[in-house]
Structure 1
Amino acid sequence: MAAAAEVVHRQGVERTTIADIARAADVPTGNVYYYFRTKDDLVAAALAEHSRRLDAIIGELDQVPDPRERLKALVRGWVEQRDLAARFGCPTGTLAAELDKRDDGGLDTEAGKVIRRLLDWVQRQFRELGLPDPDGLALTLVGAYQGMSLLTNALRDPEIMAKEGARLTDWLDSLPPQGQG
C-alpha cells in the first residue's frame, strides 16, 4: 500500500502500472496482481495509505496539549514536505483532482473523505480554542495549504511553502487566545 501511494503520487494514476508498484515495493509483479487486480484497486490502496498516514499524523498531533500548537505543528509538517510538494504536489489533493476527471465509480469521493477528515480535525482544534466559525477557519487553513501546495508544485518553488507556512503560523498566532474568540 505504501508503494502504491508513493508511485501514484509521483506518477499519477494514469501513468502508474502494476509493474511500477512491484518495482517500488521490490516484489514480483505477480504478488502485486494477487492483491490488486485492477488500477482502481491500486488507487484504493493508495487512498487507504493516505488515510493511514493522516491517522498517524493526527495521532501524533493530538499528543500536543494546546490546540493552537497542534495547528502550528501541522503547518510545520506541511512545510517540511516542501521539496516533495514542489515536485509532485499534495499527495491527497493532487490525487483527488486527478480522480475527479475519471469515471471511476466513486474513488474521487473516497479521496474527498480523506480531505474531509483533515478538515474535521482542524475544525475541532479551532473549536477547542473557542473561536467563532471553526468551520470557516478550518476551510481557510486547509484551503491555504492546498493553494500553497499547488503553487509550489506548479512553479517548482519550495520556498512558496516556506513563506506561506510562516504566514499561516503568524495568522494562527494572531487569533484570539483560547476562550476569547
Structure 2
Amino acid sequence: MPRPATDKRERLTAAAATLAYTRGLERTTLGDVASEAGVATGSVYYYFKSKDDLGLAIVDQLRERYAALVEEWNAAPDPRARLAAYVDMHLRDAGTITSYGCPIGSLCSEARKVSEDLGDSAAEIFTMTIAWATEQFEALGFPSDASRARALHLVTGIQGAAVLTNALSDPEPLEREAAHLKRWIATTSA
C-alpha cells in the first residue's frame, strides 16, 4: 500500500535525522536523504531548499522530542526524581550513545559546521535543558545563580561522559558519571 504524500516531509526529516546522527550532517547530502527516505531526490528539494532548511527540520524534530521528555520528567514526584530521570534517559540510550554520541551534542557539533544560524538553533535545545534543570534546583531551594551553576554542571557532566563514551566506544564513562551525578542529586542541599 503506498504511503500518503502528506507524510513525505516527516519521512524526509526522519531520514535526515538518522543520517545526520549516524554519519554526520555535514557529510549527508540531500540525495542521501532521498535514498534513505525512499523518495525521488527532487522531493527533497520541494520540501527543503538547502541543507540549512533540512537541518532546521531536524532541530525542530529533536526539540519536540525533548519537550515531550521534559513533560515525562516533570511527571516525577519531586525535583530530585526529575533530575535523576534526565540522567536515566542517557543511561537508557547508552548503546546508541556508545555508537553515535548524544543526539543533541552530536547535532549541535554538526549543525555548527553547516552554519552559525543552524548551530545556534540546535543549541536552543541545550538552553531549554539547562533552563529546565535550573528550575529543578531552584525548587530544591537553591538561589538562581547557584541553580544555574548546578544545572550547567549536570548537563556538562552527562555530555562530557557521552562524548568520552562515544570516543572510546565504551559505555563505562557514561555509566560512572551517571552514577556519580545521581548520588550528587540525591545528596545536594541548599
* TM-score normalised to structure 1 length: 0.90
1:162 aligns with 2:175: yes
1:68-96 CA distances to partner (integer Å, 9 max, x unpaired)? 10110110001111111111111121222
Distance in structure 2 (CA, Å) of the matches to 1:45 and 1:9: 14
Distance in structure 2 (CA, Å) of the matches to 1:32 and 1:124: 40
Q: 1:1-181 alignment to 2 at 5 Å?
A: 1-102=13-114, 104-132=115-143, 133-176=146-189, 181=190
Bigger helix fraction: 2
* TM-score normalised to structure 2 length: 0.86
Q: Which region of structure 1 is more displaced relative to structure 2, 84-93 or 121-130?
A: 84-93
SS of 1:70's equivalent? helix
Across the two proteins, how many residue pairs are aligned to each other? Answer: 176
Distance in structure 2 (CA, Å) of the matches to 1:128 and 1:24: 44
Contact 1:82 1:159 survives alignment (8 Å):
no
Aligned-partner residue type, residue 73 of structure 2: L
What's the offset of the Cα at 1:105? 4.9
Distance in structure 2 (CA, Å) of the matches to 1:90 and 1:9: 9
1:28-51 CA distances to partner (integer Å, 9 max, x unpaired)? 333222111211111111111110
Aligned-partner residue type, residue 29 of structure 2: T
Q: Which runs of 4+ in 1 moved over 6 A?
A: none
* Percent sequence identity over aligned pairs: 39
